[in-house]
């Protein structure tokens, strides 16, 4: 049997984070060593509660969870509750409290310990603002030589040429903490980036597909309940973005995507979070520009079906 990929998931659940993580909990390729939380889509307290609740629902409380940054490295953090709703999980309402507690509140040191114990074996999946990762690189510079790969979602490198979708050149995860994103991009660690357009326009779910997910089983219904409070803004049709799912699948199913080497730059002054890209074979990141939508959706539906033993 092929050895699983050891990974850390740094996250701010968040509907899209929660759906992506749910499908990863019993994946036969991924070995989740640690989950760390970061202030992002909603407050740190809520995102930590959300991930602990999901782990309880799916009997994976063996995965250690550590709380991370409450705010960005150098600026006031926004939130995205206007998209993810008040509790962060769309139309699914989690309990106010959970039975499981996080293992601690220093996510950065927890990440460092796991990475040191598994040198050059750990892939880090960044599903939220990069604050924890940026702080880790700043606090422990030697970590740059111990991480196998980073996978992340976020960036709009060409800007938005139409009205009403999202701010020019800006995506939430990058603009929430551009200084941290800059540290990650310039670290020398191999990085694969899933741009925001990938989840919103190339691999999104239609309203009909969301309805089908909800009819598969109780796990599908859980995802459906989240999704129906998470319709993407700025489009004429109702659609669900799969941004974070794509970031996870870039690790798990890399053949679904086509990538190009590129240099990534981020503005931290005039338009904080503005990302710019220059394609170059010597670039510092792998930029995903194409996806096999049919195969990705097929994998997603099959993954939900495999989680049939959970009844809520």
129-186 residue pLDDT tens: 999 999 999 999 999 999 999 999 988 766 544 444 434 556 888 989 999 999 999 9
Q: Quote the distance between the C-alpha of residue 144 and its chain's center.
A: 20
Residue in this structure with the two tokens 């939220």, named with its chain if needed: 128
Looking at the domain assignment, is residue 60 inside a domain? yes
Q: Which range of residues forms the domain containing residue 25? A: 5-306
CA torsion, points 159, 250, 78, 32, in degrees to nearest 10?
-170
The pLDDT score that the predictor gives to residue 264 is 86
Neighbour count for residue 207 (Cβ, 10 Å) = 13
Tokens of 131: 């604050």
- Residue 246 included in any domain: yes
Count of domains observed in the chain: 1
176 inside domain: yes
pLDDT for res 224: 97
- Residues with Cβ within 8 Å of residue 218, at least 6 apart in sequence: 310, 311, 312
pLDDT category of residue 84 using cuts at 50, 70 and 90: low
Asked whether residue 184 is domain-assigned, the answer is yes
pTM of the model: 0.94
């Amino acid at each position: 049997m092929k050895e699983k990929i050891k990974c850390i998931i740094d996250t701010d659940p968040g509907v899209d984070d929660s759906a992506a993580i749910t499908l990863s909990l019993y994946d036969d390729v991924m070995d989740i060593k640690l989950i760390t939380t970061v202030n992002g889509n909603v407050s740190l307290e809520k995102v930590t509660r959300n991930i602990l609740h999901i782990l309880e629902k799916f009997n994976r409380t063996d995965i250690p969870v550590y709380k991370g940054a409450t705010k960005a490295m150098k600026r006031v953090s926004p939130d995205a509750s206007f998209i993810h709703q008040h509790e962060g999980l769309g139309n699914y309402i989690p309990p106010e409290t959970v039975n499981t507690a996080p293992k601690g509140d220093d996510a950065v040191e927890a990440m460092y310990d796991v990475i040191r114990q598994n040198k050059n074996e750990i892939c880090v999946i960044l599903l939220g603002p990069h604050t924890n990762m940026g702080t880790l690189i700043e606090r422990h510079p030697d970590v740059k030589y111990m991480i196998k790969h980073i996978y992340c979602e976020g960036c709009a490198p060409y800007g938005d040429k139409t009205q009403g979708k999202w701010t020019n050149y800006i995506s939430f995860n990058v603009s929430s903490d551009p200084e941290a994103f800059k540290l990650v991009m310039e670290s020398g660690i191999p990085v694969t980036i899933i741009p925001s357009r990938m989840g919103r326009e190339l691999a999104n779910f239609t309203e009909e597909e969301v309805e089908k997910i909800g009819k598969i089983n109780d796990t599908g219904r859980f995802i459906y309940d989240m999704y129906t409070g998470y319709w993407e803004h700025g489009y004429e049709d109702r659609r669900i973005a799969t941004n974070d799912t794509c970031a996870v699948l870039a690790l798990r199913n890399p053949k679904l995507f086509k990538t190009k080497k590129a240099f990534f730059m981020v503005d931290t002054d005039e338009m904080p979070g503005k990302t710019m890209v220059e394609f170059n074979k010597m670039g510092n990141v792998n930029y995903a520009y194409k996806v096999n939508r049919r195969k990705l959706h097929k994998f997603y539906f099959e993954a939900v079906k495999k989680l049939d033993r959970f009844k809520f």
